[in-house]
């Protein structure tokens, strides 16, 4: 009851002030409470009643051991931001600086896809409180773009691990790039495949369906060789998913990251397709759009 009346007041305040105070500090946008019920697993044979409380009946998260005993297969994708290097039209460094301030103000936990695998209960007990930041188009064979290095430094300062989408391209790996990626990996960042040649996999598939797998495998092999850790995540070039998924399954990646769709994922699937959101105007506007999409 208190939650509803509080939310109502916040909505009233927001609707009164939002149109006229675009330049004021960001208002606190109500997030999903931690104990929001998770969609129920469809089951044909209901379990006999037990004394164990379900998440919806408790105000505090269940102990991890209890949650692990009855995992919910459908999870909400954490709100996920997609960034690229700075260009003439868009200053992604300034954008990220503003965005980090919002994440700090909202006290969100920034995670990686790999962390969600290592801590499978996190999406259940911290639903609506997790956030993923990804930066695409880092090339293993070249120095990292200075604007991307700036973004990396800001995220390291904030203690936020990000996911870096790396294109492997030739057999050469630029030593400083490898060193930077290794250092970041050691502090909990995730290095993801962004394919070998950055060609749109859906376009490759139209011409030669069986060339999708080698494109992914080559990048996984090269990243594993450079970093001693095989990526579990594929960031799709241009966010474009293939029509068939046999080639994706064969590659063995667990996370397949696109742009559209993928607001939820099903832990029972062979791979987990998840979506992302790119910047839309300023950081404040983008954050509001992301909350609507990922934490409806
Ligand atoms: Zn890309």
What are the tens digits of pLDDT across the range 11-36? Answer: 444 444 444 333 444 444 444 343 44
Residue 200 C-alpha to ligand 1 middle, in angstroms?
9
pLDDT of residue 123: 87
- Residue percentage of the chain with pLDDT more than 70: 76
* Residue 67 CA from chain centroid, whole number: 22
Q: What does the pLDDT look like over 137-185, one tens digit per residue?
A: 999 999 999 999 999 999 999 999 999 999 999 899 999 999 999 999 9
Residue 84 C-alpha to ligand 1 middle, in angstroms?
8
> 206 and 237 in contact (C-beta within 8 Å)?
no
Average pLDDT (248-275) is 96
Label residue 72 by pLDDT band (50, 70, 90).
confident
- Judged by average pLDDT, the poorest of 49-58, 110-119, 201-210 is 49-58
pLDDT of residue 96: 98
Q: Residue 69: pLDDT above 50?
A: no
pLDDT of residue 266: 94
Q: How many Å apart are CA 255 and CA 100, to the nearest integer?
A: 24
Instruction: For the chain, give the DSSP string.
Output: -HHHHHHHHHHHHHHHHGGG-TTSPPPPPPPPPTTPPPPPPP-SSPPPP-SSPPGGG-SSPPPHHHHHHS--SEEEPPEEEEE----SS--HHHHHHHHHHHHHHHTPEE--HHHHHHSTTHHHHTTTSEEEEEEEEEETTSPPPHHHHHHHHHHHHHT---EEEEE--SS---HHHHHHHHHHHHTT-EEEE--SS---HHHHHHH-GGGHHHHHHHHHHHHHHHHSS---EEE-GGG---S--HHHHHHT-SEEE-SSS-SEEETTSSSEEE--B---SSHHHHHHHHHHHH--
The dihedral formed by the CA atoms of 15, 19, 24 and 30, expressed in degrees to the nearest 10: 30
The dihedral formed by the CA atoms of 51, 54, 60 and 66, expressed in degrees to the nearest 10: 70
CB atoms within 10 A of CB 254: 16
Residue 71 C-alpha to ligand 1 middle, in angstroms?
34
- Judged by average pLDDT, the poorest of 3-7, 114-118, 275-279 is 3-7
Bridging pattern class, strands 264-266 and 74-76? antiparallel
Residue 183 C-alpha to ligand 1 middle, in angstroms?
22
Residue 273 C-alpha to ligand 1 middle, in angstroms?
17
The CATH superfamily holding the domain 72-294 is Glycoside hydrolase/deacetylase (3.20.20.370)
Average pLDDT along the chain? 84
pLDDT of residue 104: 97
CB atoms within 10 A of CB 219: 26
Residue 219 C-alpha to ligand 1 middle, in angstroms?
14
- In this structure, is the dihedral angle defined by the CA atoms of residues 124, 125, 128 and 134, taken in order, positive or negative? negative
Label residue 71 by pLDDT band (50, 70, 90).
low
Residue 8 C-alpha to ligand 1 middle, in angstroms?
41
Give residue 281's region: left, alpha or beta (phi > 0; psi -120 to 50): left
Bridging pattern class, strands 233-235 and 264-266? unpaired
Residue 2 C-alpha to ligand 1 middle, in angstroms?
45
């Amino acid at each position: 009851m208190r939650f509803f009346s509080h939310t109502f007041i916040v909505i009233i305040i927001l609707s009164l002030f939002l149109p006229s105070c675009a330049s004021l500090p960001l208002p606190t946008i109500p997030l999903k409470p931690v104990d929001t019920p998770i969609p129920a697993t469809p089951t044909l044979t209901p379990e006999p009643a037990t004394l164990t409380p379900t998440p919806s009946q408790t105000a505090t998260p269940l102990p991890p051991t209890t949650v692990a005993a009855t995992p919910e297969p459908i999870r909400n994708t954490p709100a996920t931001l997609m960034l690229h290097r700075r260009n003439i039209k868009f200053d992604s460094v300034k954008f990220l600086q503003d965005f980090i301030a919002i994440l700090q103000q909202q006290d969100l936990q920034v995670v990686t896809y790999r962390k969600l695998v290592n801590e499978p209960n996190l999406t259940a007990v911290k639903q609506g409180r997790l956030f993923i930041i990804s930066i695409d188009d880092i090339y293993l064979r070249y120095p990292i773009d200075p604007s991307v290095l700036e973004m990396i430094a800001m995220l390291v300062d904030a203690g936020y691990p990000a996911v870096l989408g790396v294109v492997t391209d030739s057999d050469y790996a630029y030593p400083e790039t490898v060193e930077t990626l290794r250092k970041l990996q050691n502090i909990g960042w995730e290095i993801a495949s962004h394919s070998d040649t950055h060609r749109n996999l859906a376009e490759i598939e139209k011409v030669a369906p069986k060339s999708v797998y080698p494109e992914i495998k080559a990048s996984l092999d090269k990243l594993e060789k450079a970093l001693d850790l095989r990526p579990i995540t594929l960031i799709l070039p241009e966010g474009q998913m293939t029509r068939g998924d046999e080639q994706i399954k064969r590659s063995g990646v667990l996370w397949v990251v696109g742009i559209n769709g993928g607001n939820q994922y099903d832990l029972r699937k062979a791979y987990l397709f998840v979506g992302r959101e790119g910047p839309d105007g300023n950081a404040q506007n983008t954050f509001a759009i992301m909350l609507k999409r990922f934490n409806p």
